[in-house]
Each structure stands twice: as C-alpha cells, then as structure tokens.
Structure 1
Amino acid sequence: MKKSTLINSEISYLVSTLGHTDEITICDAGLPIPDETQRIDLALTHGVPSFIETIKVILSESQVEGVVLAEEFKVVSPSLHDAFLSEIEAEQERCGKNITITYISHEAFKDQTRQSRAVVRTGECTPYANVIFQAGVVF
C-alpha cells in the first residue's frame, strides 16, 4: 500500500505523469468542467473534501512553479483566498522555490481550464475557490 499522503489513484497517476509546465485545475463544486478535459471528482457533499484540504495533499506530492487564480477569488472570498496564499507561502518555504501567482478574470480562468491535463473537483462551496497549478521541476 502507498505510504505517502496521496492515496487517490487517479490523482497519484496524474501527478506522476506531469511534465514541466503541465497544468491541473483544482476547483469548487460549481466550476464547469470542459467535456474534453479529464474530470477527477472528489466531491462527496457540500464542503467535503474542502478546497484547502485538497490543495494541501496535492502540494505534498507535486512541485508547483505557478498558480493561476480568478481575480474575483480575492474580492468575493477573501478569507479562503488568504488561507490559500498561506499554503502557497508555506510551500515556497518547504521547497525553497518561488511560486508565481497570476490573476485573470473568471471567464478567462474557465477558458484556461481547457488546457489542464485534468480538473479535480472538490466539495468546496465557496465562490471562486479554484486554482490552476502549473507543474515545476524538482531539480
């Protein structure tokens, strides 16, 4: 049995096959997911699993060099936005690398999810709790 934190087989496979600059999206329960993009649905009920819980586990298994967020996230859901930024700051300290943060409109964000290798849907019900992770390298 796998010993590390991430035990979901689909996400584990996804992370292990990411190349430099590949993108994955972690989203709330309401983000539309393009038909042509792989959907990994973790949502069980409202809030389960949460956006932050999911982010923590994925960051524990993957190297991220950039994140893309909707501008609306910091305005409409500032508490969760700040919690997310705290996780990114902690990850930067752990890995010793900067993680670039880019803000775009929510409409542009939805369009960019089409480029993601997969979209991981959480049970989060906080508006705009979505992020696109851009894969980095561990060396």
Structure 2
Amino acid sequence: MLHGIPNIISPELLKILMEMGHGDEIVIGDGNFPAASHAQRLVRCDGHQVPELLDAILHLFPLDQYVEKPVSLMQVVPGDKSETPIWDTFETIIRERTGKSDTFEQVERFEFYKRARNAYAIIATSESALYANIILKKGVIA
C-alpha cells in the first residue's frame, strides 16, 4: 500500500499508467467489451465497475489538455434503443476530478474498436451498463 494511491488501482494498473506517455490512450471496457481479443496490454479488474475505476484513475492521470475532446465514448449503434445514463456519471466524475466539462466525443462502434486495438492498454471490468466503454487520452503534468 502507498499513500495517495486509491486501493482499487492494482500494482499492474499503476505500472501501466506510469509507463504511458503524452497522447497514449487507455480503454476502460464494460463487461461486454472484447478486451482480451483487442488488447496489446490487458488489465483485468473483474468485480469492479467503470465509474469507480474512472474516478480512481483520474485521481492520478492527467487528461490531454492539448486536444478538444480527450475522452471518447462508444456511440450508440443507430436503431439501438439503449439509453446511456452512465455517461452522466462519467461526466460528473470528470468534472469533479479535472474541473473540465464537455470533454467527450462519441466514436462509431467499429472505429472505437480500431482505436482500442491501438490503445496502450485495455482495462476489462465487470460493468453491466451498456455503452459504458471509455477511452482516456493521457496529458502531461506541467
């Protein structure tokens, strides 16, 4: 254990967050996301939900301040009637941790998968909410 590190952040995840450089992306995938088949580096966070991991990561992780939208969400597939109340939770967490709002872009499903394959790492969770996949672009600490 260390002071200031949220206990949900495993040593493996902390190492990955430290290794990442400016502009690198990390995906937090919901329970339906094909994490293992898409990941260059896979971090299992079974039993955890996306909002709690997002909050803990943003405790340590700067979002890229040089892009307009440093957070990407998987766009709802046209015709799908699913609702995305979890996005409001994400927005609240990001605003509380970074002081920023309107940081999201919506990415078409297959483009999201393509970006996930190129991401530095993917975190697999047990999140049951649909469309709870999120990509964070790392910034710099000034």
CA distance 1:37–1:99, change in 2 (3 Å): farther
The 3-state SS of whatever aligns with 2:76 is: helix
**Deviating runs (4+, > 6 A) in structure 1?**
none
Conserved 8 A contact 2:39-2:121: no
Give matches, 1:82-93, under 5 Å.
Answer: 82-93=88-99
Q: Matched residues in 1 for 2:39 and 2:13: separation?
A: 17
Structure with bigger helix share is 1
Conserved 8 A contact 2:27-2:135: yes
Of residues 81, 99, 117 in structure 1, which corresponds to 2:120?
Answer: 117
Aligned residues: 131
Q: Matched residues in 2 for 1:138 and 1:71: separation?
A: 30
The question of 1:77 aligning with 2:83 is answered yes
Conserved 8 A contact 2:22-2:139: yes
**How high is the sequence identity, in percent, across the aligned residues?**
24
The TM-score, its normalising length taken from structure 1, stands at: 0.84
Instruction: Identify unmatched segments of 5+ residues in structure 2.
Output: 65-69
Q: Once the two structures are superposed, what CA deviation does each residue of 1:81-123 show, in whole Å capped at 9, x if it has no partner?
A: 1111111111222xxx677322111121111101111100111
Partner of 2:2: 2
Conserved 8 A contact 2:76-2:109: yes
Q: Once the two structures are superposed, what CA deviation does each residue of 1:53-97 show, in whole Å capped at 9, x if it has no partner?
A: 111111111111211111219x7332111111111111222xxx6
The TM-score, its normalising length taken from structure 2, stands at: 0.83
CA distance 1:35–1:79, change in 2 (3 Å): closer
